[in-house]
Amino acid sequence: MRASIPQVIERKEAIGVTASAGNVRNVVLVGHSGSGKTTLVEALLGWTGTTQRPGRVEDGTTVSDFDEVEIRQKRSVNLTLAPLVHNKTTVNLLDTPGYADFTGDLRAGLRAADCALFAVSATNGVDGVTKLLWDECAAVGMPRAVVITKVDHQRADFGAALEACRAAFGDGVLPLYLPVPPGSGSGVTGLVGLLSQRLYDYSGGKRAEGTPSDADQARMAGPRDELIEGIITESEDESLMDRYLSGEDIGTDVLISDLEKAVARGSFYPVLAVSATQGIGMAELLEVMTEAFPSALEHPLPPVTRIDGKPVSGLACDPDGPLLAEVVKTTSDQFVGRISLVRVFSGTLRPDMAVHVSGHGRAERGHADHDDDERVGALTYPLGKQQRPLPECPAGSICAVAKLGTAETGDTLSDPGGPLLMEPWAMPDPLLPVAIVAKSKADEDKLSQGLNRLVAEDPTLRLENNPETRQLVLWCMGEAHADVLLDRLSTRYGVGVDTVSLRVPLRETIGIKAQGLGRNVKQTGGHGEYGICHIEVEPLPDAAGFEFVDKIVGGVVPRQYIPSVEKGVRAQMEQGVLAGYPMTGVRVTLYDGKAHSVDSSDMAFQKAGRAALRDAAEKAAPCLLEPVDEVSILVPDDYVGAVMSDLSGRRGRVLGTEPVGTGRTLIRAEVPELEITRYSIDLRSVSHGTGSFTRGYLRHEPLPSHLAAKVASDSRPA
């Protein structure tokens, strides 16, 4: 029986030793939840001897067990750095969450990496979200490769998974190895290399090289020819194809060299097969990552400007150049404080170094622009809960930085003498609103600080203090994102909160013209109150705005009290007359009234104005208005019908559709805001995670009578 856990075959090489940019590979792992990314990272750490045994760091936790939320919720919710060394090359593996709610961490991983490794399960194939991420990498020209995981699973089908990858990602996706034997299930014992034509047997727990059987050689023939043709097609040597077609045997060294160049250019996408639990394919994957993946020197820098917006050119991945680094992830530790995961693009970052921290472009999400000078704390290489000290972090490398007090995710670190600013990476809009209230007065006192820390850590979070509904709202990416945020507030920052029903900012208006009397007469024996006013109300066009008209003649209401009536009317409009929502779209005309020479006062006429508006509005067919949003929904063509049907059930009006690219459609619609408070969750369900949408306020419209009656009876804001 072969060993279930392969023995370590590589000598353990030092982690955290400064490496030149040419010997660094920054690789982001991409894939949906359950594709086996984290298990693969843990197996690679064990295989290279970085950890004592596969998947474990020295304290016995897995590489993903650094966050208490991940441990409790048993799912990956963070971008995680796992550095290892193979053949004197440092590989920084950036493991990304597989849930769509944590797209922000995935985008951060794409920014910090120089190439992407897509994990696809041999049991489940490719989902729509993974296809979208592939297209996103293609848009920025990021080199990519595919690793098909779980090839030893009893339900594994490598051939089906490979065909799914080619259908989703294109014809440039070609395998370098095939599982042996070809059947699915736990019988897989190794791989055959299509270029080397060698057998790599893992059945003994170690990698043993041999000669493929006749059956394996026959099975390799077709895929090998296709692979060679694919490599030659991407070759810069135009004569190579003619030589191949004429029957010349192209040397393996030439093919491998051209393959490496094509991968670095992002025009060829090799496929590997692995079993993380059995160790199958670990050596081959490490070889491809260190030999075929591009180094930091080969990846262009993002656009850079000075603080005043003037573009900066000529920067390169040079350890002796001006400092240019970016915070790609921010976390907090109860003992160490704030820890920033930083990718250095130019220059060299050193402990106790003075840096300028610049952050711009996300003020609408609560991330205020800032320019601050700070001093860097200790530099470390994180691995699980461990922090291994670093003497410096040169261009092309990634490290953790302690005690950057003002730095937030997405901020730029540069030389204080010449501050620079990197163009922020694109972030999806958070579209799930969650209203919260503090559980107690003690929690209320700590709430602001806790929320500010969450905002600093997570650029996908938007914090809103809605003045109309008087609610504190967290705009999140989805339910899982909201759960994690609330969990962190409670456990990490000691702030207890409760979620409450979200209030949509309804408004009130009137439907017809009417008159009203406001009478405030009180005689108490001392100084009394006296103010009487007659008003007429009428609706304004488009149910918007407010007008106050003075038609007093003869001084029946003294001139100094007319503004008092208007002030009272405006105050009552803010409180509403039907369900407690602000009024709009009303013209109020003051045409008569009475005053008393002694008892009339500013306050008396304010109260009279309020009473007059209440009296008139009751006769003027008051009604509720609901906000309507303009919504743009982008979905694959297969889901257009389901989405449009769902919109009709939300009282939505579809304005039109148009094709966008290949196989995707943009649907434009108008939808009441009451119907889409949880649309980010519902659209994900309807479109199987492949749909996205944007929304923006359009106007207020009358709320249907049956809904208005319900709101008026039981939904009066506090």
Q: How many CB atoms neighbour CB 149 within 10 A?
A: 29
In our burial notation (b when 16+ CB lie closer than 10 A, e otherwise), range 161-195 reads bbebbbebbeebbbbbbbbbbeebeeebbbbbbbb
Residue 12 domain flag:
no
- Is residue 629 domain-shared with residue 615, that is, in the same domain? no
- Is residue 257 domain-shared with residue 316, that is, in the same domain? no
Q: Name the band, by pLDDT with cuts 50, 70 and 90, for residue 64.
A: very low
* pLDDT tens per residue across span 119-144: 999 998 888 888 888 888 888 788 99
The pLDDT of residue 139 is 80
Q: Name the band, by pLDDT with cuts 50, 70 and 90, for residue 354.
A: very high
- Is residue 702 domain-shared with residue 557, that is, in the same domain? no
| Res 665 pLDDT > 80 | yes
The pLDDT of residue 2 is 30
Whether a cis peptide bond, with omega within 30° of 0, leads into 181 is yes
The pLDDT of residue 185 is 55
What integer is the mean pLDDT of 636-663?
93
| C-alpha span between 669 and 656 (Å, rounded) | 7
Residues 6 or more apart from 47 whose CB is under 8 A from it? 6, 8, 9, 10, 54, 279, 282, 283, 286
Q: What letter represents residue 162's amino acid?
A: L
What integer is the mean pLDDT of 515-522?
94
Q: Is residue 149 within 8 Å of residue 120, measured between CB atoms?
A: yes
- Is residue 488 domain-shared with residue 518, that is, in the same domain? no
- Is residue 351 domain-shared with residue 437, that is, in the same domain? no
Q: Which two tokens stand for residue 18?
A: 């400064």
The pLDDT of residue 342 is 95
User: 144 - beta bridge partners?
Assistant: 116
Domain range enclosing 536: 507-621
Q: Name the band, by pLDDT with cuts 50, 70 and 90, for residue 183.
A: low
- Torsion on CA atoms 452, 453, 458, 461, rounded to nearest 10: -30
Nearest to 628, CA basis, from 583, 674, 667, 668: 674
| Res 17 pLDDT > 50 | no
- Is residue 118 domain-shared with residue 265, that is, in the same domain? yes
| Res 380 pLDDT > 70 | yes
What integer is the mean pLDDT of 19-47?
89
Nearest to 422, CA basis, from 134, 112, 634: 112
- Phi, psi for residue 135 in degrees, rounded to 5: -65, -35
Residue 6 domain flag:
no
CATH number at residue 675: 3.30.70.240
Residue 14 domain flag:
no
Q: Name the band, by pLDDT with cuts 50, 70 and 90, for residue 366.
A: low
The pLDDT of residue 274 is 94
CATH number at residue 461: 3.30.70.870
* pLDDT tens per residue across span 145-173: 999 999 988 888 999 999 999 999 988 89
Mapping DSSP onto H, E and C, the string for 154-213 reads: CCCCHHHHHHHHHHHHCCCEEECEEEECCCCCCCCCEEEECCCCCEEECCCCCCEEECCC
| Res 240 pLDDT > 70 | yes
* pLDDT tens per residue across span 319-342: 999 999 999 998 877 667 788 999
- Is residue 227 domain-shared with residue 359, that is, in the same domain? no
Q: Name the band, by pLDDT with cuts 50, 70 and 90, for residue 696.
A: very high
Residue 15 domain flag:
no
Last residue of a domain, one of 241, 271, 298: 298
- Is residue 179 domain-shared with residue 312, that is, in the same domain? no
Residue 7 domain flag:
no
- Is residue 345 domain-shared with residue 239, that is, in the same domain? no
Tell me how many domains the chain contains: 5
The pLDDT of residue 155 is 87
CATH number at residue 575: 3.30.230.10
Nearest to 405, CA basis, from 342, 458, 335, 340: 340
Residue 10 domain flag:
no
Nearest to 283, CA basis, from 592, 43, 629: 43
Strands (E) across 605-673 are located at: 623-636, 653-659, 664-672
Q: Is residue 521 within 8 Å of residue 540, measured between CB atoms?
A: no
Last residue of a domain, one of 444, 473, 500: 500
Phi-psi category of 536—alpha, beta or left, where left has phi over 0 and alpha has psi -120 to 50? Answer: beta
Q: Is residue 396 within 8 Å of residue 317, measured between CB atoms?
A: yes
- Is residue 283 domain-shared with residue 350, that is, in the same domain? no
Residue 9 domain flag:
no
More confident residue, 100 or 284: 284
- The model's pTM is 0.83
**Mean predicted lDDT score pLDDT of the chain:** 87
| Res 298 pLDDT > 50 | yes
Q: Which two tokens stand for residue 464?
A: 């809103």
By CB atoms closer than 10 A (0-12, 13-18, 19+), residue 457 is buried
- Is residue 100 domain-shared with residue 133, that is, in the same domain? yes
CATH number at residue 129: 3.40.50.300
Q: What letter represents residue 25's amino acid?
A: R
Residue 13 domain flag:
no
- Is residue 310 domain-shared with residue 281, that is, in the same domain? no
3 three-state secondary structure? coil
| C-alpha span between 39 and 418 (Å, rounded) | 43
CATH number at residue 326: 2.40.30.10
| C-alpha span between 157 and 176 (Å, rounded) | 17
Last residue of a domain, one of 298, 319, 342: 298
Q: Name the band, by pLDDT with cuts 50, 70 and 90, for residue 556.
A: very high
Q: Is residue 712 within 8 Å of residue 624, measured between CB atoms?
A: yes
What integer is the mean pLDDT of 547-575?
95
